[in-house]
Structure 1
Amino acid sequence: MKIPIEISARHMHLSKEDFEKLFGKNQTLNSIKNLSQPGEFASDKVVEIINKSKKIEDVRILGPFRKNSQVEISMTDAYNLKLSPFPQIKVSGDVANTANILVRNKNNSIKAPCIIARRHLHASAKEAKKLKLKNNQNISIKIGGIREVTFHNIIVRVSEDFKLALHLDTDEGNAAGIAGKTFGELARKG
């Protein structure tokens, strides 16, 4: 079974409370583009993330709101921001014991946990069953092409709300030479 590969650029998830701190209670999180995972979208709101004199502008807010806010960046972003302590590689949503970064828009700022998202495979229960995969299982996926690579330590995330897709960050996508629509294949089940 071919597995669609998607590259996830730096972005931020916000709780409703933090959204209101940054943008105000009268503002709304409006979709400008639906993402591949059902119900998820890129919003019309952006922020900048700051570490001392280093910053990255136009970090897109993704919706819908989450229980906890978090910033997701690549290792390259972390190096460019000169972050110390260096962000941990974690499953999205796991913000326990995570260092914060300053997040700012035109008028307000907050501190939010900052992680490098662990590569992961989204799958519905039906897709996971077809591939003989279980939630939280570690797998490997091979991506062919001129820069053929096999990614290991991919965590499987199963939910009825998910659609089959491997999510890599921009560093991983660039290393594999991914441009445009790309597919991989299951190489190993852990």
Structure 2
Amino acid sequence: MLIPVGVSNRHIHLKREHMDVLFGKGYELTKMKDLTQPGEFAANETVKVVGTKGEFPNVRILGPLRNFTQLEISKTDSYILGVEAPLRSSGNILGTPGIKIVGPNGELEIEEGVIIAERHIHMTPEDAEKFGVNNGQYVSVKTEGERSLVFNKVLIRVKDTYALDMHIDTDEANAAGLKTGDKVQIVK
């Protein structure tokens, strides 16, 4: 039973209030392409993020808007920016560092919200039953190929609206020689 991989580059999720500051009151994101998770998309819009040591000029915004602003980066990105981002599950931003965000219409500094996203697998309840796993459980996942390895501590996220997909960042993908669409399997 194989699971498709989705490699996530650095990206940002914005809340309405921050979207208004960065792009103008009431501005709506425009869709560049759909993502694997139903209803989620990569927007045409980007922002610049500025850390204490460096910056990234074109960080893609993912939609739709959320109830919180969160910048997801890799460990390598954290060194470049000069931000000590912790490894966290998406949405768990309490006590995380902030960063400066610059848009075409304004800029702001968030007090928290910069994370390195914990690797995870999205799946439906039916998938979870088939794989014999539960929401919130951690599993190990084996990759194939020239740089095959086993990822430990992969979080299972179960929701009826999810599509089966393992999300890893670019550092993890490069270490394992993986690209979006490759397949992995849970190790029992």
Q: Say if 1:144 and 1:53 are closer, same or farther in 2 by CA, change over 3 A.
A: closer
2:76 corresponds in structure 1 to 76
Same amino acid, percent of matched pairs? 38
The 3-state SS of whatever aligns with 1:95 is coil
The 3-state SS of whatever aligns with 2:129 is helix
Aligned mate of 1:110, from 103, 108, 126: 108
Deviations 1:139-169 (A, max 9, x none): 0110010001110001100011101111000
The residue type paired with residue 98 of structure 2 is N
1:53: Cα distance to partner? 5.1
Q: CA RMSD in A?
A: 1.1
The answer as to 2:165 corresponding to 1:148 is no
Deviations 1:98-129 (A, max 9, x none): 11011111331122311000000000111111
1:20 corresponds in structure 2 to 20
Q: Aligned partners of 2:172 and 2:180: how far apart in 1?
A: 14
The residue type paired with residue 101 of structure 1 is I
The answer as to 2:65 corresponding to 1:65 is yes
Q: How many positions carry a matched residue from both structures?
A: 186
The residue type paired with residue 94 of structure 1 is N
1:180: Cα distance to partner? 5.0
The residue type paired with residue 148 of structure 2 is E
Q: Aligned partners of 2:169 and 2:20: how far apart in 1?
A: 28
The residue type paired with residue 23 of structure 1 is F
User: How high is the TM-score relative to the length of structure 2?
Assistant: 0.95
Which deviates the most, 145-154 or 172-181? 172-181
1:5: Cα distance to partner? 0.9
Q: Say if 1:29 and 1:170 are closer, same or farther in 2 by CA, change over 3 A.
A: same
Q: Aligned partners of 1:48 and 1:129: how far apart in 2?
A: 42
Q: Contact 2:5 / 2:179 at 8 angstroms: preserved in 1? A: no
Which residues of structure 2 form unaligned runs of 5+?
none
Q: Aligned partners of 1:52 and 1:3: how far apart in 2?
A: 38
1:175 corresponds in structure 2 to 175
- Off by >6 Å, runs of 4+ in structure 1: none
Q: Aligned partners of 2:148 and 2:137: how far apart in 1?
A: 23
1:18: Cα distance to partner? 1.1
2:9 corresponds in structure 1 to 9
The structure with the largest strand share of the pair is 1
User: How high is the TM-score relative to the length of structure 1?
Assistant: 0.94
Which deviates the most, 103-112 or 152-161? 103-112
Which residues of structure 1 form unaligned runs of 5+?
none
Q: Say if 1:76 and 1:53 are closer, same or farther in 2 by CA, change over 3 A.
A: closer
Q: Aligned partners of 2:151 and 2:53: how far apart in 1?
A: 34
